[in-house]
């Protein structure tokens, strides 16, 4: 909706007189009525609209949803209502945003072992997330 916006609005495309009611905790694939040809090496990222999430607790369930370059079907947005109140989607409502982004096309290779790193296999919280950072800049995690 603005000249500097990174995303394009995606709107609900529903038959005349139809609407989708999302009860609390419910999800639905909302049609947009559009299809596109995304160039190879790019993807479409379907992202939530911040106002919809902040005001109504409605967001994109698989955010960001990916539209692959070789997909040619209708774009649908998987919305979920995380609020405690029902939410109604009507034709023309702005329900998500679409950002086109470059992707690295890689080929997977199976190996017996991986190169070592300081972190190793440390998972969630292993770098001290939420703890004060100390030490020299090259040792911060």
**Structural domains of the chain, ranges and CATH numbers in brackets:** 8-102 (2.70.40.10)
Report how far residue 32's alpha carbon sits from residue 87's, in angstroms, rounded to the nearest whole number.
18
Helix (H) or strand (E) segment spanning residue 95 = strand 94-102
Beta bridge partners of 67: 44
How big is the chain by its Cα radius of gyration, in Å?
20
Q: What is the pLDDT of residue 82?
A: 98
Report how far residue 34's alpha carbon sits from residue 121's, in angstroms, rounded to the nearest whole number.
42
Q: Show pLDDT as tens, one digit a residue, over the chain (141 residues).
A: 678 888 899 999 999 999 999 999 999 999 999 999 999 999 999 999 999 999 999 999 999 999 999 999 999 999 999 999 999 999 999 999 999 999 998 999 999 999 999 888 888 877 776 666 565 555 554
């Amino acid at each position: 909706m603005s000249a500097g916006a990174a995303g394009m609005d995606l709107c609900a495309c529903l038959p005349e007189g139809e609407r989708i009611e999302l009860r609390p905790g419910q999800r639905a694939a909302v049609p947009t009525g559009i299809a596109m040809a995304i160039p190879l090496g790019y993807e479409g990222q379907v992202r939530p609209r911040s106002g919809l999430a902040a005001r109504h607790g409605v967001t994109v369930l698989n955010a960001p949803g990916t539209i692959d370059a070789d997909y040619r079907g209708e774009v649908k947005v998987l919305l979920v209502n995380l609020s405690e109140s029902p939410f109604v989607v009507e034709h023309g409502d702005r329900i998500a945003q679409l950002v086109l982004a470059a992707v690295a096309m890689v080929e997977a290779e199976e190996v017996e072992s991986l190169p070592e790193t300081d972190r190793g296999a440390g998972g969630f919280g292993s770098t001290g997330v939420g703890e004060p950072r100390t030490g020299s800049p090259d040792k911060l995690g």
